[in-house]
Amino acid sequence: MKFIHYLERISGISVYPMISLLLFFAFFSFLLWYAWSAPKRLMDYGADLPNSDENV
């Protein structure tokens, strides 16, 4: 396999960065909703995990 130019050209390469930005925007919006919708009980439980080990 040779990694050199398979296609002659592609028009509108600028669509790539735009898709990238939209992808991130969608991902980040979902992420915000995901984090903020989490129940407090679960978050507190998670936050306390490092110190929940009495052996140390």
List interacting residues with other proteins (CB under 8 A). 2-10, 13-14, 16-17, 19-21, 23-24, 27-28, 31-32, 34-39, 42-51, 53, 55-56
Positive or negative, the CA dihedral 40, 41, 44, 49 is negative
Q: How far is the CB of 40 from other proteins (least distance, A)?
A: 9
Half-sphere exposure of 21 (CA within 13 A, CB side): 5
Q: How far is the CB of 15 from other proteins (least distance, A)?
A: 10
Q: How far is the CB of 11 from other proteins (least distance, A)?
A: 9
Alpha carbons 41 and 45: distance in angstroms, whole number: 6
